[in-house]
Amino acid sequence: MINVFIVDDHEIVREGLKRILELEPDMTVVGEAGNGDDVLKGVTESNCNVLLLDLNIPGRQGISLIKIIRKKKPKIRILILSSIPEDKFVLPLLRAGAMGYISKNADMNELVIAIRKVYSNGKYLNSTLTEELAYEVLIEDIQLPIKLSDFENSIMLSIVKGSDYNDIAQELSVSSGTIAVTRQKIMKKLNLKNNVQLTHYAFKHQIIRY
């Protein structure tokens, strides 16, 4: 039996998901939470094996929450359910321990398929996202003169793609101040002065393509 724990800060969303999933003969909802603290308590006390996790919830959230959950309950399969565009920062989420990512715009049949996929220890991504991640993994093998952390690399890519600090902060579940400070660290590491030079660096070393 697939024991699902639902995490979303909107009660009406949780209730809707619960009713749909419990129509499936191989699924049951064993718990729910609306914030990060309740998630940690819930997954510890319940016998869930699949965690359906919204990224934007009060309290602990995002990559840090995924890492904590994986440390406490390493056998839980985490499926991200979010309204954040699917091509944004999925690789760091997978590295942190998530096993799949599905948009809130997806239909319910796709959600059920995704849950079954991660339960069977597979990873669930749509085809477009799979191709994008394949490229991201490929460029990691390129020997760069200076190594950035995953977090720094995600921020650099977003800056180069034209995202502003507030958008990046929201997508990574950190403050805009953290983004600004991290950008300064990136500039110092790479000995660059502005975003134009950063963009040139990214293209020169094939971190991003035209």
Percent with pLDDT over 90 in the chain: 33
Q: CB within 8 A of 138, min separation 6: which ones?
A: none
Strand order of the sheet with strand 98-103? 27-33, 2-7, 50-53, 77-82, 98-103
- Give the model's confidence band at 158: pLDDT under 50 very low, under 70 low, under 90 confident, else very high: confident
Which tokens hold the place of 199?
A: 């963009």
Domains identified in the chain and CATH numbers: 2-131 (3.40.50.2300), 142-204 (1.10.10.10)
What's the pLDDT tens digit per position in 83-120?
Answer: 765 555 576 777 788 888 888 888 889 899 999 999 99
Separation of alpha carbons 49 and 118, rounded Å: 10
- At 6 the pLDDT is 97
